[in-house]
Amino acid sequence: MVQSEEDDISVEASSLPPVPIQEISEDRALTETVLFPTPKLSLKISKLEIRKSLKALTYESVFATIFYSVIGGALLSNFLLELGAGPVQIGLLAAIPQMVNLLQPLGAYLVNRSTSFRWYFLCIFIPSRLVWLILLPAIVLLTSSHLAGYQVVQLTLAILLVGNIIESFGRAPWLGWSAVLVPQRLRGRYFGFRNSIIGLTNLIGIPLLGLAVSVWPGGTVQGYGAVLILGILLGLISQMCQFWMTDVNPQLLKATGSDTSQPQSQGIDFSFLKDANFCKFVLYLSIWCFAVNISAPFFNLYMLDNLDIDISVVTIYHGLGTGANMLMLLLWGKLADRIGNRPLLLLVGVLVAVTPLLWLLVRSDQISFWIWLPLLHILAGGTWAAIDLCTNNLMMGISPVRYQSSYFAIAGAVAGITGAMGITVGSFLATLPFMEGLLGLFLLSGLLRMAALVFLAFVQEQRSVPVGQLMRVLFPIRLSTDLIEVKE
């Protein structure tokens, strides 16, 4: 059966944005780097394969989301606090996944020498999830008094370190595979829909998991062990979904985005240093991640420790946030396709920067418990939906197809190291008297987030609406005028 051209979607056409209206000379250099006049090889994926792959990618994300919610966030923080962990251990809990992002460029180097995205990821993510099985016998020994709480805390952090080191080799290539499978014209809508499904999973799953841990007959520590078994199982099922995703040979993708007459680099590519626009984006991203992570790991700690709120209630708060995230994602996705990612990041980024300042009004009273904290989580969930969606889409849009894995890896590594620095600085500042504990961190984080948005204003995005015209595009106003006929 002969396949018509309409049933094919070219990867190089769908992964690259159209030629933009040039505003600065750096954009012209970027476009000339990406759009090669005579590619020797074109990789095509049919519409049917894309639909099947996107459906499988959505299912994969749902199962993986439950796994990551078990091995991170409020559930793992509460588990460590029950074992006697303090701010330093909670800070390490958040810093470790950030620090290992320094290994992402190595992952981009390795995937460029493989012949299958699918098998590369199976070799990465299955071991990184199975390593959490080591914690299960430790929980059994802890309940039988054969291990002390601090030993299990140390073991948990070690498992977290090993798992994240292995997983870091797959984070940037995973974005590269996703960029291939999702046509650019559908990225806002698809990732908005996909992330809303993930939000619905979190909305239902996290409070149920938190409730299960809280009411488990053997105590919260054994309850966490039970949900960990479920999380690992679902994490492995998510990997099986990749068999329904169209596999792509990274070698063919590299050939698609390059002129084969040019010599291929054999090491880690550093051509991004010549890309002024991408360097501006990395500068913004580094300051933003530092600012966010000064306070981000300590919101759960503030509720669980300072305000003495039960874990089941904290997960309900997070459920409200994920519910707002789910509802807003579809709107943000359509809006990003309409006005671009950068203007939306600037607009919503102001609200995200103000959010930590609003935590200064939280107290240990009924108003905060029933009104203020739920509203803060709803605000954070709705606004971070736009930040997460548009940051990834903006990075995909400004990264040349030939170097996508390398660009994603560099951005991830920079975000990781600056995020880890933010967590480290935040952990240290929280101990200083003049910072007023965690509340001082929230104030500092909000101010630094505002400063980061200044650097985002200099990043150029193809097809994005200028900030000066943003209000006119969002709220079009038609002025009525009286027509006056002039008679001769």
Question: Which structure tokens are listed for 277?
Answer: 């626009």
Pick the closest to residue 321 from 51, 108, 69, 32 (CA basis): 69
What pLDDT was estimated at residue 253? 64
Are the C-beta atoms of 288 and 449 separated by less than 8 Å? yes
Q: Which amino acid is at 376?
A: L
Query: Measuring CA to CA, how many Å separate 172 from each of 112, 178, 179, 319?
Result: 11, 10, 11, 28
Are the C-beta atoms of 355 and 320 separated by less than 8 Å? no
Pick the closest to residue 345 from 385, 299, 294 (CA basis): 385
What pLDDT was estimated at residue 59? 93
What pLDDT was estimated at residue 6? 33
Burial degree of 172 (CB within 10 A; 0-12, 13-18, 19+): buried
Rounded CA-CA distance 307/439 in Å is 12
Query: Which residues, listed in sequence order, are joined to residue 46 by a DSSP beta bridge?
Result: 8
What pLDDT was estimated at residue 185? 75
Helix (H), strand (E), coil (C) string for 79-114? HHHHCCCCHHHHHHHHHHHHHHHHHHHHHHHHHCCC
Rg of the chain over Cα atoms, rounded to whole angstroms, equals: 24
Are the C-beta atoms of 259 and 39 separated by less than 8 Å? yes
Query: In this structure, what DSSP letter does residue 478 have?
Result: P
H or E segment and range at residue 370? none
Pick the closest to residue 80 from 65, 64, 96 (CA basis): 96
8-10 and 44-46 strand pairing: antiparallel
Question: Which structure tokens are listed for 50?
Answer: 């894309």
Pick the closest to residue 359 from 369, 372, 346 (CA basis): 372
**Domains detected in the chain:** 46-251 (1.20.1250), 271-466 (1.20.1250.20)
488 residues of the chain, pLDDT tens digit each? 434 333 333 333 233 232 222 222 222 222 222 222 333 334 577 888 888 988 999 999 999 999 999 998 788 988 998 898 877 788 888 888 878 878 888 887 888 888 888 999 999 999 999 999 999 999 999 888 778 888 999 999 999 999 999 998 888 788 778 878 888 777 778 887 887 788 788 878 888 998 899 889 988 999 999 999 999 999 999 999 999 998 888 877 665 544 433 444 444 556 667 788 889 999 999 999 999 999 988 898 899 888 888 888 888 898 888 788 878 877 888 888 888 889 999 999 999 999 999 999 998 888 889 999 999 999 998 999 899 889 988 888 887 767 776 788 888 888 888 988 998 898 888 888 777 778 899 999 999 999 999 999 899 887 777 766 666 666 665 544 444 444 44
Q: What is the pTM of this model?
A: 0.66
Query: Measuring CA to CA, how many Å separate 13 from each of 159, 278, 405, 418?
Result: 42, 21, 18, 34
